Amino acid sequence: MQLSVVAILLAVAGPATCQLDKWAKEAGLKYFGTAVDNPSLSNQAYMKIARDSSEFGSITPANGQKWSNTEGSQGRFSYGSGDAITSVAKQSGQLLRCHTLVWHNQLPVSSSFSRDQMQRIITAHIQNVAGHYKGQCYAWNVVNEVLENDGTFRQSPMYRAMGIKFITHSFKTAAQTDPLAKLYLNDFNIERCCNAKINATISLLKTVIAAGAPVHGVGMQGHSRVGKSPSKREMKEAMAQFAELVDEVAFTEVDIRHTKLPVTAEDREQQARDYVEVVGACLETAKCVGVTVWDFTDQYSWIPSQYPGEGEACLFDNNLGKEAGVYRRGQPPPECSVFGLAGKGDARP
């Protein structure tokens, strides 16, 4: 199908949304998903889109299930923030990608612990949190961001106490607690084959899998910059490396930010092409199960607070218009056209 035909179909059908998940499924993926954070739950216009399962077939809580929200102080567990998001997925018939069990950030457990103490802390955290969500999570990001960009281990409280064994232990505990969830290692800057971090990730995976860690998937976060993001070829090569070791791979937190605002029409064209490369890389990788964007609207993007002066990284702009973000081009949204042109799995290996 030509792009112009897709444009006409969209114009005639006039979908309120792009139906990303519908296209994704037709093209052979399991889902096209989005992160949802708690503050957006009261925004009805936002929630109408977030709950539309033809648009997003999977939800990831952006913060609700993190350590600070589920175990704010040691041994005291609470699930209000997490449940508020997971119930959206349940009510809307969407998959749930759960995020995240063991991460150095948003971690109230910051003091030094002995190896045994840390092992007990991790065990209790995973047993309680993954136990609470048992049976609900299609996937869990079990460990998040365990390596530095140069490939060395991040000196997190968990690593300092236990070394690499904290990773093996986390995966084993998660598998015992929720045997049906796909267990992922999740990280950023592992999309462009093959930098030091990718090489280190591969060697880490080999080590922990040999030690008995049931790692099912590798999540590539996919945060990148317009015009600087990895090419489809580079991403496919990275995924091919991971695919030798695990059952599945996924893009888990995609956003592509402009580093200079305001943006020009050419910047938007480039951003659209960059998004298409990500989706295309997933479509053309047999083990890539889906793409998740790290929220779909600039309104709730983490970018402006973290990178002042940068932004407009999401598919929809602040106003949630369907011509927002990469939709702004006045063309059919390229990610729609990617799925539309790929058609019923044609692009899948």
Smallest distance from the beta carbon of 254 to ligand G3I, in angstroms?
11
Q: Is 180 exposed, middle or buried (0-12, 13-18, 19+ CB in 10 A)?
A: exposed
φ/ψ of residue 326, rounded to 5: -75, -10
φ/ψ of residue 177, rounded to 5: -80, -45
Smallest distance from the beta carbon of 231 to ligand G3I, in angstroms?
22
Smallest distance from the beta carbon of 106 to ligand G3I, in angstroms?
5
Smallest distance from the beta carbon of 99 to ligand G3I, in angstroms?
6
Q: Are 336 and 62 in contact (CB under 8 A)?
A: no
Q: Which of 145, 191, 237, 277 is catalytic?
A: 145
Q: Are 21 and 44 in contact (CB under 8 A)?
A: no
Q: How far, in Å, CA of 46 to CA of 320, rounded?
A: 7
Cβ nearer to ligand G3I, comparing 140 with 302:
302
With helix as H, strand as E and coil as C, how does the chain read?
CCHHHHHHHHHHHCCCCCCHHHHHHHCCCCEEEEEECHHHHHCHHHHHHHCCCCCCCEEEECCCCCHHHHCCECCECCCHHHHHHHHHHHHHCCEEEEEEEEECCCCCCCCCCCHHHHHHHHHHHHHHHHHHCCCCCCEEEEEECCECCCCCECCCHHHHHHCCHHHHHHHHHHHHHCCCCEEEEEECCCCCCCCHHHHHHHHHHHHHHHCCCCCCEEEECCEEECCCCCCHHHHHHHHHHHHCCCCEEEEEEEEEEECCCCCCHHHHHHHHHHHHHHHHHHHCCCCEEEEEECCCEHHHCCHHHHCCCCECCCCECCCCCCCCHHHHHCCCCHHHHHHHHHHHHHCCC
Smallest distance from the beta carbon of 272 to ligand G3I, in angstroms?
22
55 is a catalytic site residue? no
| Block residue for tokens 């929200």 | 69
Residues that bind ligand G3I (CB under 6 A): 37, 62-63, 105-106, 144, 221, 253, 302
Cβ nearer to ligand G3I, comparing 63 with 177:
63
Cβ nearer to ligand G3I, comparing 19 with 201:
201
Cβ nearer to ligand G3I, comparing 230 with 334:
230
Smallest distance from the beta carbon of 29 to ligand G3I, in angstroms?
21
248 is a catalytic site residue? no
Cβ nearer to ligand G3I, comparing 65 with 119:
65
Cβ nearer to ligand G3I, comparing 248 with 255:
255
Residue of closest CB approach to ligand G3I: 302
Smallest distance from the beta carbon of 63 to ligand G3I, in angstroms?
5
Q: Which of 71, 237, 248, 253 is catalytic?
A: 253
Cβ nearer to ligand G3I, comparing 89 with 101:
101
Active site residues: 145, 253
